[in-house]
Amino acid sequence: MAAAGNQGRLAIIAGSGKLPLFLAQASRAAGEDPFVIRLKNEADPIWEGFDNAVIGVGDMSGLSGLFASHDIGRVVMSGAVKKRPSFREISPTWKSLSKVPAVLRTLMAGGDDAVLKMVIELIEAQGCQVIGAHEILPDLLAEVGAFGDILPTSDDLRDIERGAEAAEALGRLDVGQGAISVGGRIVALEGVEGTDAMLKRVAELRAEGRISQRRKGVLVKLCKPQQDMRADLPSIGVSTVKNARAAGLAGIAVEAGRALVIEREVMVAAANEAGLFVMGIDRGLKDKHA
Amino acid sequence: MAAAGNQGRLAIIAGSGKLPLFLAQASRAAGEDPFVIRLKNEADPIWEGFDNAVIGVGDMSGLSGLFASHDIGRVVMSGAVKKRPSFREISPTWKSLSKVPAVLRTLMAGGDDAVLKMVIELIEAQGCQVIGAHEILPDLLAEVGAFGDILPTSDDLRDIERGAEAAEALGRLDVGQGAISVGGRIVALEGVEGTDAMLKRVAELRAEGRISQRRKGVLVKLCKPQQDMRADLPSIGVSTVKNARAAGLAGIAVEAGRALVIEREVMVAAANEAGLFVMGIDRGLKDKHA
């Protein structure tokens, strides 16, 4: 666990989902005094008891002001950002003005990975260090093997292999992190809609009889090969298990060492109860914990 | 145009969508006397004036009987098949009985391309020749260049390039044929849901502000690299234009020489009216008309 010490106060930039609150609680337990920067229209309003402020997603100038006034030295980005800022919402600092054309270009045309790399660069240009959630809470990272009581069958292992192949191709294109394989056939790939929406689509296709009723299938989530681990690591939690169950899947596989598991105990209990396996798979990347 | 001659009567195996009827009408105009085999729960019930019969999707034995009783020599497969037959729906012929385990395996686990290759093989084992829709109606194939009045902008050309790159990766995985790029960013990839459902998803994501309002974007449909041209060529028609318009796209690009254009005149008129471009792109494949 990193202590606050002379590295400056920790800021948590909070998008949607459960990860930001979980991270704030866990980092406090680890001796940090986190300051939470809630992204407008993205973060859930659940921040009682935490020092916090709200800013617009494109408000670089406001972000810079918050960093200065709260003596922020380290920044963790967490949670999803569904809507990219539009031209009108970008308020640059004087220092970052020359970067605006490139910023807009990336916001318009870049994949999520390109956008997040840019955000990291902009924050670090303010003198703050951007760190990954796993650097504060290494226990968040998925490890190799099954998390709960259920183990994948040989059919499931084949779906894991096929799903991983598709997710990797998808990641290389900077499109998304998730793929669903049912009986060895890829039935859905994750785009802008996100994992939960993709799982709901598969539940619908299953109800319509367009996906085999006799084969269960697996959701695979992998980190993009070129992805910076400080932003948008693939994550799973209770809602993933719930939606995977509704989609009729046998289980979920995530990349060990490069995926976050939110509220692990609650998630594992839900998976055990639903009869789903959840496991970390080793992709054999050398630099997994970088 | 191929004449009926001594090649035996032409059968059109009809799935859903407009292509089967269009093909029946056009092949009749070209001197054929097509016999239409409607797939149960798939084909639209619009076959007045055509000699036709209905069979279940997995009814190999019924298909074989129809081939014999109607003196079928050539078979065209057309239209979509949304639901694969289940175990119970497979009724093999005595001759094909030994192939059943492999057939079931492919139905469960294969991509569309694998399934269609198997169907072609089963039909040809009955002594019929399977031909492509474009072999009867070469005019159906998309040619290189813009079909209507609207031309792609340089932004659109970039989206075409990016979408083609994604669609090709998707095809190599035998997952789907379509991808949508908006401002150089891939926002959706086609899985089991099909092109129209993918376009509707993009329309929703656009309405929610999760896709840029300032960039239009392009739908790209390519033939899978390994695909047999006698089955499931990517196709576009009026509904594609309508849904692309609702998704806020600038246009549609398909693979020249390896994609079908249904009711071209009606589609081009709709595209002109909607302000969308539709064009064929050359992927530089040597054997395009094979």
Q: For residue range B195-247, list pLDDT tens digits in order.
A: 999 999 999 999 988 888 889 999 999 998 888 888 888 999 999 999 999 99
- A235 and A167 within one domain: yes
CB pairs under 8 A between A and B: 103
Backbone angles phi, psi at A25, to 5 degrees: -65, -45
Backbone angles phi, psi at B70, to 5 degrees: -110, 15
Q: How many CB atoms lie within 10 A of CB B282?
A: 12
Q: Is residue A37 part of a domain?
A: yes
Query: What does pTM read for this prediction?
Result: 0.85
- A150 and A113 within one domain: no
Helix (H) or strand (E) segment spanning residue B135: helix B133-136
Quote the tokens at residue A278.
């959840």
Judged by CB atoms closer than 8 Å, whether chains meet at A192 and B211 is answered as: yes
- A277 and A147 within one domain: yes
Which pLDDT score, from 0 to 100, does residue A6 have?
Answer: 56
CA nearest to A186 within chain B:
B175
Who has greater pLDDT, A1 or B148?
Answer: B148
Quote the tokens at residue A235.
């994550």
Mean pLDDT of chain A: 87
DSSP one-letter string for B177-190: SEEEEETTEEEEE-
Domain end marker among B112, B136, B160: B136
Which pLDDT score, from 0 to 100, does residue A284 have?
Answer: 59
Judged against a pLDDT cut of 90, whether residue A248 lies above it is answered with yes
Least CB-CB distance to A185: which of B111, B208, B214?
B111
Each residue's pLDDT tens digit in chain B (290 positions)?
444 445 889 999 998 888 899 899 989 998 999 999 998 888 887 888 999 999 888 888 888 999 999 999 999 998 877 777 776 777 777 666 677 777 777 777 677 777 888 888 888 888 899 999 888 888 899 999 999 999 999 999 999 999 999 999 999 988 889 999 999 999 999 998 999 999 999 999 999 888 888 899 999 999 988 888 888 889 999 999 999 999 999 999 999 999 999 889 999 999 999 999 999 999 854 443 43
Asked if A189 and A176 count as a contact pair (C-beta separation under 8 A), the reply is yes
Q: For residue range A220-241, list pLDDT tens digits in order.
A: 999 988 888 888 889 999 999 9
Domain count, chain A: 2
Judged against a pLDDT cut of 70, whether residue A161 lies above it is answered with yes
Helix and strand numbers (H, E) in chain A are 9, 13
Measured CB to CB, residues of chain A less than 8 Å from chain B are 82-84, 86-87, 108-111, 158, 165-166, 169-170, 172-175, 180, 183-189, 191-193, 201, 205, 208-215
Domain end marker among B136, B167, B187: B136
- A107 and A192 within one domain: no
Domain end marker among A109, A136, A163: A136
Query: How far is residue B110 CA from its own chain's centroid?
Result: 17
- Categorize the per-residue pLDDT at A289 as very low, low, confident or very high, splitting at 50, 70 and 90: very low
Q: Is A204 exposed, middle or buried (0-12, 13-18, 19+ CB in 10 A)?
A: middle
- On chain B, the residues whose CB falls within 8 A of the CB of A188 are 191-193
- A147 and A111 within one domain: no
Q: Is residue A80 part of a domain?
A: yes
Q: Is residue B289 part of a domain?
A: no
Q: Is residue A150 part of a domain?
A: yes
Judged by CB atoms closer than 8 Å, whether chains meet at A174 and B166 is answered as: no
Asked if B141 and B19 count as a contact pair (C-beta separation under 8 A), the reply is no
Asked if B219 and B180 count as a contact pair (C-beta separation under 8 A), the reply is yes
Distance from CA of A174 to the nearest CA of B (A): 8
- A155 and A115 within one domain: no
Q: Is residue A40 part of a domain?
A: yes
Q: Is B157 exposed, middle or buried (0-12, 13-18, 19+ CB in 10 A)?
A: middle
Q: Is residue A47 part of a domain?
A: yes
The conformation of residue A46, written as its DSSP 8-state character, comes to: -
Q: Which domain holds residue A52?
A: 9-136
Distance from CA of B4 to the nearest CA of A (A): 36
CATH at residue B15 = 3.40.50.20
According to DSSP, the β-strands at B9-14 and B218-221 are unpaired
Who has greater pLDDT, A94 or B283?
Answer: B283
The amino acid occupying position B45 is: P
Q: Is residue A3 part of a domain?
A: no
Judged by CB atoms closer than 8 Å, whether chains meet at A189 and B166 is answered as: no
- A162 and A67 within one domain: no
Distance from CA of A259 to the nearest CA of B (A): 22
DSSP one-letter string for A114-143: HHHHHHHHHHHTTTPEEE-HHHH-GGGB--
Backbone angles phi, psi at B216, to 5 degrees: -85, -70
Q: Give the three-class secondary structure for B37.
A: strand
Judged by CB atoms closer than 8 Å, whether chains meet at A174 and B189 is answered as: no
According to DSSP, the β-strands at A178-182 and A185-189 are antiparallel
Share of chain A above pLDDT 90, in %: 53
Which pLDDT score, from 0 to 100, does residue A227 have?
Answer: 84
Judged by CB atoms closer than 8 Å, whether chains meet at A210 and B192 is answered as: yes
